Amino acid sequence: MPDLTFFPDPNVDRVLGVVLELAAEVYVLRERLRILEVALERRGGLNRDELDRYEPTEAQRAQRLAERDALIARILAPMTAEADSPAPPFEPA
């Protein structure tokens, strides 16, 4: 897919890319949360206190940090793309 240019200033296109990447992440999170809520409701729910007390294992914590770093890299990719290209090629998350 070729790079798309919408504005005369390529930096505005880069910021638009960041906003769209964040919007995609929010949509995916909302959809997954809806599915999780329905599944928990069907099973009788989960005590909120249990969620508040949850502590991930070291392996889970490491995986989450890696996922966080990948998310940040994807979100900021439009800002760090080559100077002659207003946005990186689109890659679905």
Digit-by-digit pLDDT tens for the chain (93 residues) are: 356 788 888 888 888 888 888 899 899 998 998 888 888 878 887 766 676 788 889 999 999 999 999 988 887 887 776 544 444 554 544
Q: Could you tell me the residue range of the domain that residue 15 belongs to?
A: 10-77
Determine, yes or no, domain membership for 91: no
Residue 83 confidence (pLDDT)? 45
Q: C-alpha 19: how far from its chain's center?
A: 11
According to DSSP, residue 9 is labeled S
Residue 82 confidence (pLDDT)? 57
- The domain total for the chain is 1
Burial-class residue 3 by CB neighbours within 10 Å (0-12, 13-18, 19+): middle
The pair of three-digit structure tokens given for residue 53, joined into one six-digit string: 């007390």
Closest CA to 10 of 69, 85, 77, 92: 85
Per-state percent for the chain, helix, strand, coil, to nearest 5: 65, 0, 35
Determine, yes or no, domain membership for 2: no
Determine, yes or no, domain membership for 92: no
The reported pTM is 0.51
Q: Answer whether 18's CB lies under 8 Å from 76's CB.
A: yes
